[in-house]
Copies of this chain bind each other. A is one copy, B any other.
Amino acid sequence: MKRDEQDNTLRDMMKIHGLRYSKPREAILRFFARRDRHISAEDLYLALKKEGKNLSLSTVYLNLSVLENAGLIREFAGVNGEALYDSNISPHYHLQCKNCGDIYDLPVLTTEGMPLAKLLKEHAETTSGWQVDEPGLNLRGLCSSCQAVNDAEANRK
């Protein structure tokens, strides 16, 4: 795809979603179209800075929230409570390593012919009478390499 064709694609995408065009917004969308998903506002800011895009950190925060409201990206909470953003909006769960922060995408688990998250939501609504959001399932654990490090430390003691 040629450069200006992609520009037009991104412009169109913004227009379709009722968003005004701006250079920072384009830079962020372009980033997500090409690179890492699962990034924090600060890391995105730094990554864009490295590419020579000097938008301000508050603009990054603003646009991440704008893009999330438009349904173009998804927000979820990292192990230390920071907001992370994912450009893959198809349903999946997140598993994050408590030690190194690495993220693993878990496929949806279906039980009794229904995605687990939906099952949970219905259980909660039936039990409580509340109106319940479908939960994002964010798990934490230790990735294989951090487990190895932990085990080695345990042996040393």
Residues of A within 8 A of B (CB): 77, 81, 93, 95, 97-98, 104, 106-107, 109, 111-112, 116, 119-121, 123-125, 127-133, 135, 137-144, 147
Contacts and interface: CB of A to CB of B under 8 A. Distances in A.
A106 B77 contact: no
Q: Chain A contact residues: over half helix, strand or loop, or mixed?
A: mixed
Contacts of A140: 132-133, 135
13 contacts: A77-B77, A77-B81, A93-B120, A95-B130, A104-B130, A106-B128, A109-B120, A111-B111, A125-B141, A130-B142, A132-B141, A135-B138, A135-B140
Determine how many copies of this chain the complex contains. Answer: 2
Contacts of A137: 120, 135
Nearest to A112: B111
